[in-house]
């Protein structure tokens, strides 16, 4: 029985460490290869030993697909390919290929240089790993080998994020990665055609949330920044370097442009500049507005946003600063925060979720006095705002995508078990599609019924067509022929041709059947009665009464004979060839019901 | 290809017309006609290969064929068709047949039999499809002939089973266009089974080819357009097509559902998987709403557009479109809109500064949440958030239309519209501002909404700001804080963009007059008066202060208690502003200043009737004089012209009519004056020097007639005739003058010829109006036409001269509505002392901003002219996108003019003005060959002449020395 097997090594009922194994029609594919933010031990990487106990990964896996450049989707890649050992192809989109190494390098630096970890992958390993990458374009069908093909669809979320369709023959799986169904200031919405895969593996981060329109949030954000700047205050926006930061930059940049504002906007430097460079290059991956206007001006060539220098923080007058990291736990954003916290004209806007224990979390929960290192107490007088900008599809969006792709079944990953449960129930109820949500290491097996192509000889097809009415696209038709299986290909030919090809002689196959009729009359009369009965019932068949007293319907012969023991019963002998099976069995059942009473 | 072909055809045709004019009397054309088919026949016989034949046919297709010879040509083509083996040639012939059958004046029923005949023997699918197309052309040409239509429908039905999608497509098209409308007619068709066209077409909704499915739906829509009432059963079929795999099918299906929902809004349909039933229009609305989140943006645009026109939808459904139940972690959450509203109603303004004020509230029952509602839920929320701005615009438009018909919906959609003011695409922002203006009667803005609206005033785009000003003009504000806020923001806008001055003043005028009671409590604060102390008198020239005064004075008009709050200087300022900005400051009834108010009020009262009467009377007086002595006539004309001009100045609503008639009278006056010259009696040689007056008069009349024809909007055909007649007279005058002044006959010969052509042209264009021109110049001229044709130029001139003197003065009927086109250049302002600097030899861009009034089709007619100091003039064609249309009859031109000159050293002034380009040949009735097709672009763009219609503005330009 053909089947599709899916085993999440990470991201099964969990967020982070996305890594899903898919076996489809004998091909093994690994989807994403991420790390977990929450762990610093072995658990941060997926357990690759699960894939093969002994033996090389390359022999077992046909390819690896990376959906986008976030570390929880690609963080374990150098470890996997260089330290565990995998030499097969790794597929990702061009922007992911470009930005991924920057983030990996950053991650490595923090792990090795700051935390002093040993036995971590090196810069060289990142480079070697990236050499194994094959970049794909949107909607480009890539043949991994003779049978396995993959195709990328736009997913929104971050620059270069893609959904992948993995297809072998007529069986296919779609993996969404992370995606966003509502467009934002720099990226469009995810889109997929009606590809009707056997299985859709979708993220479910916001499985239980339906979000408000993006516009309100944007407007609030802009209004707050604008008001603070007009008051002469300074605005601090802690961000992570990639993704949302660019969206907020675009938002502020266009707003400044529209409103003719003059206050400076700064962006703390670092890997952002490199990343911004890639944003400029991959214009085709952005949204309609940026794509259409980049000829006049590339939106990522910011006019109002300049690089930040440490000294600028003390400048008088209003300004807006984007600084890393996003949770105010260390680095430049915290430094600036300490400088500005004392003035009530200033403002800090947290654009995302903050982990417990960070300064960001403390101020968001309303703490006004913070203990800093060295027993200092920092009084926070500045305004604290919270704005959620997140680029995952919400429950409605997930349902919308499922509706667009029309899969046979859905599998949820990248979300919390409790929330998945709700969405699973909804999907099964409303879309009537079976839904799975395996935990890490749990395997889901889906039986499939792949269609097998069969060649039909033209002669047979034409003959069948000539017999029946017009072909109707939506209705199945019965076709008589002989199926020949030879060298793993299938052909349907007419029986004569099959006999000829195989060099066999035709055998006649005849069925005979006796029907007992209670009729005291003579045989001839019975035959006559049978004849007139059949004549009246089978109007469009040729019914004949032969001189020897037998009746024929087409090629079916009916003879009446007296029963040897009981003269009141007549035995009807019905005989038909195999080809007329349908009519023959119909006739016997008809005759078994008995003849109508003669009018006399 | 077809377009190209038609263009070619047209070019050739114009040639033919000219030939006709040159040799009017001859019957040469008739001789050439039969040869056309003969030539084709010879050509086709000569052709040795299919490629050759194709070439001949292509060549043939470039020439037009007259209606009389069409049949012959068709026979030849058919004959060749039977012989031809190559399908491509047959295809071409088939397409030619279709083209020929469209010829005006040719009745194609005679070729139908042949066409159907060849159809039956044809094997190639492409040719078949083309032949069906030909049949369609024939069928549409004969809409009355039921029998033919029946036959064609029969043929179409027969070929519906063809295996090629192209043929099936054409068949369905044929059915859609010709399928019989009434069943009763089909019954008497000779024994043919009554065909239910709708059923036949409906069967092809499930064809295997998406193109055929689309064609089937289109055919159904075509039936509807032709007035056939579609069956309600189609609705279910169409609903199934909504989930088709192909976007064009879905797009067409959405249209079909819309059509059916408009036909049977009130019928009841069951909801699947439940026992309930709803109205069909509601069901259709829900389905179309669902398509707003379709995968293809084409379908989304289509769906969003159609939503706007479904007005019968119950309000319950309508309001769902704006509803999107929010939740977070399975708990109900309020939208930002709801929160804003709550804050507002609880009296606390400014939105939450706390984290978690959007924290989710009550738990939701998991069973009750419906993630993909079948209904209309959130359709507009999705549409307005769509990725493609086309969809967003369509959604905004739909919102506008629905809100106009339902006040409660208007109130609800306000939040969403306000949100759209922050869209990233300017067009969308503009559209939503316009939408808001259109529904402003139904709504009152809350303060927080007003706040968002006013924030857009800082937008750097001028269009946006002006649209917003217009919006504010007709907005209802609920509180005095709102008015104050609006005023403050407008003043901020004024300081930031001083060019918006006029628009802001106008906006405040309406704001004041709409909300007098809200302005009243603000007056002391606004005027900064103090109960005990005198405050400093504000600067009278400060635009911001004027803005405040405009607001207050307009509010005071309906609020008599307000003037009591004014201080002394306010009254003085009032008197000054009432004079200088009378369009913004209304007349007030001020205490103790009765004189002022009484002096002002009578002129405000519209006295239309007397002035209109006066106009009529003075014109009648002129027309009644026919045989007054020349001196008297001239005096009377001069007098009347003066009166009319003065009247136009006084009564702005009559300005158009007065100017128009004055211009006409001036023409007449000039003509009379020219004819009164003594020089007519003088012998030709002496006459040379004195001829200026007459020729100048002729020239001026010509100019004036062009002005009359093209500068006024609302000119009807009967006026055009008179104007052309006047021009003809001027041309005659010109001819006579030249005849007298020049020696030698050669130039005269050409001129005469040309003049006679003009006469002929006049006759052809205005043949219908000739009876009205009894006793006129043209009337007499046409009587003598045969004589003129044959006589020599000298005689022609003589005849003309006498006729011109005898001709009577034609009565100019006044059109209903007539407005003179005018333009004012707002920018460049002119008297600026700051020169525009540029590097000589390079290009400098000059921003031009002008308002145009009563200009028809400004995209094609308005040009910008730049006069360089060395006398060189340059005409610039602004892009069509540079024209905006802020209101009926008004246009706005905002463009950039590129100036460049090589030899330029000193600072100089460049003149800029606007021209109105005209082309009198555009009045020619279009020839049948290009009828229905696109007009050849040459006709559109050619400019015959221009009329300056704005004051010229001088711009000071200084070259910079070129840097090396």
Domain count of chain A? 4
> Chain A partners of B385 at a C-beta cutoff of 8 Å?
182-183, 213-215
Q: Which domain CATH number covers A182?
A: 3.60.15.10
Q: What is the pLDDT of residue B364?
A: 59
Q: Mean pLDDT across the stretch B424-446?
A: 85
In this prediction, residue B219 has a pLDDT band, given cuts at 50, 70 and 90, of very high
In angstroms, the separation between the Cα of residue A119 and the nearest Cα of chain B is 40
Give the pLDDT band (50/70/90) at residue B627: low
Identify whether A330 is part of a domain: yes
* Contact status of B388 with chain A (Cβ, < 8 Å): yes
| pLDDT score at A184 | 84
Are A404 and B335 a contacting pair at CB < 8 A?
no
Across the interface, whether the CB atoms of A259 and B458 are under 8 A apart is answered yes
pLDDT of residue A132: 93
Contact B336 A212 (CB under 8 A): yes
Read off the pLDDT of residues B833-869 as tens digits, 9 standing for 90 and up.
Answer: 677 777 777 788 888 888 888 887 888 888 888 888 8
**Mean of pLDDT values over B218-226:** 90
In this prediction, residues B598-608 reach a mean pLDDT of 42
Residues of chain A with confidence (pLDDT) below 70 = 1, 241, 269-272, 353, 355, 467-475, 597-600
pLDDT at A600: 43
Mean pLDDT of B19-45: 52
CATH number of the domain residue A577 falls in: 3.30.310
pLDDT tens digits for B904-921?
777 788 888 888 888 766
B500 touches chain A (CB under 8 A): no
Average pLDDT estimate for B589-603 = 49
Of A286-295, B235-244, B479-488, the range with the lowest mean pLDDT is: A286-295
> A60-84: per-residue pLDDT in tens?
899 999 999 988 899 999 999 999 8
Residue B35 to residues A276, A295, B11, Cα–Cα distance (Å): 73, 57, 21
Proportion of chain B above pLDDT 90, given as a percent = 6
Q: Are residues A60 and A170 in the same domain?
A: yes
Q: How far away is chain B from the Cα of A574, in angstroms, using its nearest Cα?
A: 41
CA dihedral A512, A518, A520, A526 (to 10 degrees): -40
The CB density around residue B638, as the number of other CB atoms within 10 Å, is 13
Cβ distance A598 to A532 under 8 Å?
no
Determine, yes or no, domain membership for A131. Answer: yes
User: Same domain for A354 and A234?
Assistant: yes
Residues of A annotated catalytic, as ranges: 203
Mean pLDDT to the nearest integer, B659-666: 85
3-state secondary structure at position A208: coil
Q: Do A422 and B366 touch (CB under 8 A)?
A: yes
Q: Report how far residue B926's alpha carbon sits from residue B735's, in angstroms, rounded to the nearest whole number.
A: 29
pLDDT at B28: 40
Question: Rounded to an integer, what distance in angstroms lies between the CA atom of residue B665 and that of residue B622?
Answer: 9
Residues A99 and A169 in one domain: yes
Together in a domain, A198 and A247: no
Q: Pick the more confident residue, B492 or B367.
A: B492
Cβ of residue B372 closer than 8 Å to a chain A Cβ: yes
B962 touches chain A (CB under 8 A): no
pTM over 0.90: no
**CB interface of B with A, residues 708-767, below 8 Å:** none
Q: Are residues A206 and A218 in the same domain?
A: no
Task: Lowest mean pLDDT of A272-276, B304-308, B710-714, name the range.
Answer: A272-276
State the Cα–Cα distance between residues A226 and B874, nearest whole angstrom.
46
User: Highest mean pLDDT: which of A358-372, B98-112, B232-246, B626-640?
Assistant: B232-246
DSSP symbol at A90: E
* Residue B484 or residue B934, greater confidence: B484
How wide is the angle at C-alpha A114 spanned by C-alphas A108 and A119, nearest 5°?
50
Is residue A335 in a domain?
yes
Q: Which of B615, B685, B676 is nearest to B643 (CA)?
A: B615
A225 and A310 belong to one structural domain: yes
Q: Strands B908-918 and B945-948, how do they pair?
A: antiparallel
Is B335 in contact with A395 (Cβ distance < 8 A)?
no
| pLDDT bracket for residue B662 (50, 70, 90) | confident
Measure the CA–CA gap between B336 and B500, rounded to whole angstroms: 33
Between B698 and B623, the higher pLDDT residue: B698
User: How far is B918 from B300, CA to CA, in rounded Å?
Assistant: 42
pLDDT above 70 as % of chain B:
80
- What per-residue confidence (pLDDT) applies to B33? 42
3-state secondary structure labels for all residues of A294-354: CCCCCCCCCCCEEECCHHHHHCCCCEEEEECCCCCCCHHHHHHHHHHCCCCCCEEEECCCC
Structural domain contains residue A449: no
Nearest to B355 among A216, A364, A426 (CB): A364
| B806/B777 Cα distance (integer angstroms) | 8
Whether residue A154 sits in one domain with residue A278: no
Contact B119, B135 (CB under 8 A): yes
Q: Does B612 touch chain A (CB under 8 A)?
A: no
User: With contacts defined as CB-CB under 8 Å, which chain B residues touch A289?
Assistant: 389, 424-425
pLDDT at residue number B850: 85
Find the mean pLDDT for residues B327-354: 54
A296–B contact, CB cutoff 8 A? no
Q: How far apart are CA A171 and CA A3, in angstroms?
A: 9
Sequential DSSP letters for B582-616: TTTS-----TT-HHHHHHHHHHHS--HHHHHHHHH
CB-nearest partner of A288 from B293, B329, B389: B389
What integer best gives the mean pLDDT of chain B? Answer: 77
Q: Which structure tokens are listed for B508?
A: 């405040």
In a domain, residue A144? The reply is yes
Q: Which residue is listed with tokens 């959405």?
A: B254
| Residue B688 clears pLDDT 60, i.e. is over it | no
B888 CB within 8 Å of a chain A CB: no
Substitution target in B340, B424, B448, B494 with the highest count of A β-carbons within 10 Å is B424
The residues in A 154-193 lying below 8 A from B, measured between CB atoms, are 182-183, 185, 188-189, 191-193
Structural domain ending residue among the three candidates A386, A407, A425: A386
Q: How many CA atoms lie within 13 Å of B864's alpha carbon, on the beta-carbon side?
A: 30
In this predicted complex, what is the ipTM?
0.78
Higher pLDDT, B127 or A538: B127
Residue A487, domain extent: 454-468+477-502
Which of B106-110, B376-380, B623-627 shows the lowest mean pLDDT across its residues? B623-627
Q: Which two tokens stand for residue A467?
A: 């017999």
Predicted confidence band of residue B146 (pLDDT cuts 50, 70, 90)? confident
Question: Closest residue of A to B365, CA-based?
Answer: A422
Q: Is residue A142 part of a domain?
A: yes
Closest by alpha carbon to B359, among B322, B327, B324? B327
A423-431: long-range contacts at Cβ-Cβ below 8 A with a sequence spacing of 24 or more? A423/A204, A423/A207, A423/A208, A423/A395, A423/A398, A425/B366, A426/A395, A426/A399, A426/B369, A426/B371, A427/A399, A427/A402, A430/A399, A430/B370, A430/B371, A430/B372, A431/A399, A431/A402, A431/A403, A431/B372
Same domain, A189 and A284: no
**Joined tokens for residue A62:** 């046909």
Beta bridge partners of A201: A175, A411
Q: Concatenate the DSSP letters of all residues of B871-936 into one string.
A: S-EEEE---GGGEEEEETTEEEEEEEEEEE-SS--S-EEEEEEEEEEE-GGGGSPPPGGGTTSPPP
| A57 and A164 part of one domain | yes
Does a structural domain hold residue A599?
Answer: no
Question: Is there a domain that residue A220 lies in?
Answer: yes
Tokens for B17? 């017309």
Q: Give whole-number Cα distances, B798 to A364, B155, B675, B754, B801, in Å.
A: 101, 67, 14, 17, 5
In a shared domain, residues A368 and A227: yes
> Tokens 């967020």 correspond to what residue?
A15
Q: Which 3-state string (H, E, C) describes B671-687?
A: HHHHHHCHHHCCCHHHH
| A286 plus A232 within the same structural domain | yes
Q: Tell me the C-alpha distance between B469 and B457, whole Å.
A: 8
The total number of residues written for chain A in this structure: 600
pLDDT, greater one: B882 or B66: B882
The structure tokens 């700047």 sit at A229
Residue B785: the pLDDT is 78
**CB-CB neighbors (< 8 A) of A231 in chain B:** none
Strand duo A199-203 + A551-553: pairing: unpaired
Asked if A234 and A111 sit in the same domain, the reply is no
Residue of B nearest to A195 (CA): B245
CB contact under 8 A, B366 and A425: yes
Look at residues B694, B698, B633 and name the one whose alpha carbon lies nearest to residue B667. B698
């Amino acid at each position: 029985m053909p089947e599709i097997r899916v085993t999440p090594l990470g991201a099964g009922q969990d967020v982070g460490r996305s890594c899903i194994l898919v076996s489809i029609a004998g091909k093994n594919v690994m989807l994403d290869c991420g790390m977990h933010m929450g762990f610093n031990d072995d658990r941060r990487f997926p357990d690759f030993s699960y894939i093969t106990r002994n033996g090389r990964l390359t022999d077992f896996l046909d390819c690896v697909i990376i959906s986008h450049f976030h570390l929880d989707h690609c963080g374990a890649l150098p470890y996997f390919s260089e330290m565990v050992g995998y030499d097969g192809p790794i597929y990702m989109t061009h922007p992911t290929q470009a930005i991924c190494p920057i983030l990996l390098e950053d991650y490595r630096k923090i792990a090795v240089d700051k935390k002093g970890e040993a036995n971590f992958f090196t810069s060289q390993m990142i480079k070697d790993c990236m050499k194994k990458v094959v970049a794909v374009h949107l909607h480009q069908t890539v043949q991994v080998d003779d049978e396995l093909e993959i195709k990328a669809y736009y997913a929104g979320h971050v620059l270069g994020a893609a959904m992948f369709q993995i297809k072998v023959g007529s069986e296919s799986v779609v993996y969404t990665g992370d995606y966003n169904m509502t467009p934002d200031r720099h990226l469009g919405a995810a889109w997929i055609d009606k590809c009707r895969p056997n299985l859709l593996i979708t993220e479910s981060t916001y499985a239980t949330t339906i979000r408000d329109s993006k516009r309100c949030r944007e407007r609030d954000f802009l209004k707050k920044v604008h008001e603070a700047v007009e008051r002469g205050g300074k605005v601090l926006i802690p961000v992570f370097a990639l993704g949302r930061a660019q969206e907020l930059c675009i938002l502020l940049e266009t707003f400044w442009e529209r409103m003719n504002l003059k206050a400076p906007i700064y962006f703390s430097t670092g890997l952002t500049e490199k990343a911004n460079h890639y944003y400029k290059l991959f214009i085709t991956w952005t949204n309609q507005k940026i794509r259409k206007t980049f000829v006049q001006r590339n939106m990522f060539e910011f006019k109002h946003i300049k690089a930040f220098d440490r000294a600028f923080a003390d400048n008088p007058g209003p300004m807006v600063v984007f600084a890393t990291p996003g949770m105010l736990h260390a680095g430049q954003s915290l430094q600036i925060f300490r400088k500005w916290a004392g003035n009530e004209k200033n403002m800090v806007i947290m654009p995302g979720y903050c982990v417990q224990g960070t300064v960001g979390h403390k101020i968001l929960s309303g703490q006004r006095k913070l203990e800093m290192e060295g027993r200092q107490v920092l009084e926070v007088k500045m305004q604290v705002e919270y704005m959620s900008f997140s680029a995952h599809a919400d429950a409605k969006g997930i349902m919308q995508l499922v509706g667009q792709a029309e899969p046979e079944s859905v599998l949820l990953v990248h979300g919390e078990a409790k929330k998945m449960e709700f969405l699973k129930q909804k999907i099964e109820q409303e879309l009537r599609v079976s839904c799975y949500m395996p935990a890490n290491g749990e395997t889901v097996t889906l039986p499939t019924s792949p269609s097998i192509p069969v060649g039909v000889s033209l002669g047979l097809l034409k003959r069948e067509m000539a017999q029946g009415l017009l072909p109707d696209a939506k209705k199945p038709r019965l076709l008589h022929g002989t199926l020949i299986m030879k060298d793993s290909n299938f052909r349907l030919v007419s029986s004569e041709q099959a006999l000829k090809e195989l060099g066999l002689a035709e055998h006649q196959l005849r069925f005979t059947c006796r029907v007992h009729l209670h009729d005291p009359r003579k045989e001839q009369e019975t035959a006559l009665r049978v004849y007139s009965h059949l004549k009246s019932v089978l109007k469009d068949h040729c019914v004949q009464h032969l001189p020897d007293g037998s009746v024929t319907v087409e090629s079916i012969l009916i003879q009446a004979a007296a029963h040897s023991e009981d003269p009141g019963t007549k035995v009807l002998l019905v005989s038909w060839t195999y080809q007329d099976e349908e009519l023959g069995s119909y006739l016997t059942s008809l005759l078994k019901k008995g003849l109508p009473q003669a009018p006399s | 290809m077809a377009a190209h072909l038609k263009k070619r055809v047209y070019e050739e045709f114009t040639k033919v017309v000219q030939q006709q004019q040159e040799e009017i009397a001859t019957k040469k054309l008739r001789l050439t006609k039969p040869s056309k088919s003969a030539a084709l026949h010879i050509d086709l016989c000569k052709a040795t290969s299919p490629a050759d034949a194709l070439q001949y046919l292509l060549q043939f297709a470039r020439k037009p064929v007259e209606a009389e010879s069409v049949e012959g040509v068709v026979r030849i083509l058919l004959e060749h068709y039977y012989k031809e083996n190559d399908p491509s040639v047959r295809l071409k012939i088939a397409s030619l047949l279709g083209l020929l059958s469209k010829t005006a004046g040719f009745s194609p029923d005679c070729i139908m039999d042949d066409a159907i005949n060849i159809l039956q023997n044809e094997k190639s699918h492409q040719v078949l499809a083309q032949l069906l197309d030909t049949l369609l052309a024939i069928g549409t040409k004969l809409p009355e002939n039921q029998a033919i239509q029946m036959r064609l429908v029969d043929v179409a039905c027969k070929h519906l089973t063809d295996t090629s999608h192209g043929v099936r497509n054409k068949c369905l098209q044929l059915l859609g266009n010709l399928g019989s409308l009434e069943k009763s007619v089909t019954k008497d068709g000779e024994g043919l089974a009554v065909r239910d066209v709708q059923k036949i077409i409906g069967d092809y909704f499930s064809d295997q080819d998406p193109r055929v499915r689309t064609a089937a739906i289109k055919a159904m829509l075509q039936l509807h357009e032709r007035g056939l009432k579609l069956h309600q059963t189609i609705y279910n079929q169409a609903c199934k097509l909504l989930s088709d795999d192909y976007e064009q099918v879905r797009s067409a299906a959405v249209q079909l559902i819309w059509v059916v929902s408009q036909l049977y809004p009130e019928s009841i349909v069951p909801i699947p998987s439940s026992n309930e039933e709803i109205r069909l229009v509601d069901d259709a609305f829900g389905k179309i709403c669902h398509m707003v989140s379709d995968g293809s943006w084409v379908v989304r645009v289509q769906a969003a557009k159609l939503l706007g026109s479904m007005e019968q939808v119950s309000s319950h459904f309508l309001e769902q479109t704006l509803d999107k139940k929010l939740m977070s972690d399975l708990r109900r959450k309020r939208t930002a809109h709801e929160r804003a509203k709550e804050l507002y109603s609880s009296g606390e303004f400014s939105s939450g500064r706390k984290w978690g004020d959007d924290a989710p509230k009550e738990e939701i029952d998991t069973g009750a949440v419906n993630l993909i509602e079948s209904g209309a839920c959130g359709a507009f929320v999705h549409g307005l958030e769509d990725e493609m701005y086309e969809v967003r615009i369509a959604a905004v438009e739909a919102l506008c239309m629905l809100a106009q018909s339902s006040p409660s919906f208007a109130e609800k959609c306000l939040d969403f519209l306000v949100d759209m003011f922050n869209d990233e695409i300017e067009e969308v922002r503009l559209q939503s501002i316009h939408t808001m203006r259109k529904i402003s009667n139904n709504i009152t803005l809350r303060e927080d909404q007003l706040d968002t609206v006013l924030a857009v005033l800082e937008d750097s785009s001028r269009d946006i700001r002006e649209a917003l000003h217009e919006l504010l003009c007709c907005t209802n504000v609920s509180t005095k804080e709102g008015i104050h806020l609006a005023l403050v923001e407008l003043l901020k806008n004024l300081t930031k963009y001083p060019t918006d001055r006029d628009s802001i003043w106008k906006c405040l005028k309406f704001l004041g007059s709409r909300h007098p009671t809200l302005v009243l409590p603000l007056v002391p604060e606004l005027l900064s008066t103090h109960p005990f102390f005198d405050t400093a008198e504000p600067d009278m020239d400060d635009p911001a202060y004027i803005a405040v005064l405009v607001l207050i004075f307009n509010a005071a008009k309906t609020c008599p208690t307000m003037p009591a709050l004014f201080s002394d200087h306010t009254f003085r300022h009032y008197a000054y502003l009432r004079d200088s900005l009378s369009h913004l400051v209304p007349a007030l009834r001020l205490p103790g200043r009765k004189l002022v108010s009484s002096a002002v009020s009578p002129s405000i009262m519209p006295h239309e009737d007397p002035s209109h009467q006066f106009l009529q009377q003075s014109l009648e007086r002129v027309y009644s004089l026919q045989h007054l002595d020349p001196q008297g006539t001239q005096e009377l004309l001069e007098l009347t012209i003066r009166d009319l001009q003065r009247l136009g100045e006084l009564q702005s609503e009559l300005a158009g009519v007065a100017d128009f008639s004055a211009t006409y009278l001036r023409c007449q006056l000039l003509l009379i004056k020219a004819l009164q010259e003594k020089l007519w009696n003088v012998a030709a040689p002496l006459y040379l020097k004195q001829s200026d007056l007459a020729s100048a008069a002729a020239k001026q009349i010509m100019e004036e007639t062009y002005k009359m024809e093209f500068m006024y909007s609302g000119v009807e055909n009967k006026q055009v005739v008179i104007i052309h007649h006047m021009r003809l007279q001027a041309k005659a005058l010109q001819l006579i003058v030249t005849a007298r002044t020049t020696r030698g006959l050669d130039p005269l010969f050409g001129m005469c010829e040309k003049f006679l052509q003009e006469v002929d042209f006049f006759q052809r264009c205005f043949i219908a109006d000739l009876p009205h021109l009894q006793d006129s110049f043209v009337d007499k001229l046409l009587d003598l036409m045969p004589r003129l044709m044959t006589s020599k130029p000298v005689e022609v001139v003589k005849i003309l001269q006498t006729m011109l003197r005898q001709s009577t003065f034609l009565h100019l009927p006044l059109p209903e509505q007539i407005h003179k086109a005018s333009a004012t250049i707002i920018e460049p302002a002119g008297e600026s002392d700051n020169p525009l600097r540029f590097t000589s030899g390079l290009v400098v861009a000059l921003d031009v901003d002008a308002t145009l009034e009563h200009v028809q089709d400004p995209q094609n007619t308005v040009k910008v002219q730049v006069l360089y100091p060395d006398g060189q003039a340059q005409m610039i064609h602004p892009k069509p996108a540079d024209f905006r249309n802020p209101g009926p009859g008004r246009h706005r031109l905002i463009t950039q003019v590129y100036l460049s000159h090589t030899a330029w050293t000193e600072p100089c002034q460049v003149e800029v003005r606007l021209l109105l380009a005209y082309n009198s040949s555009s009045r020619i009735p279009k020839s049948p060959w290009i009828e229905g097709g696109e007009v050849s672009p040459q006709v559109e763009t050619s400019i015959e002449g221009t009329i300056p219609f704005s004051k010229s503005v001088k711009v000071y330009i200084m070259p910079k020395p070129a840097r090396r």
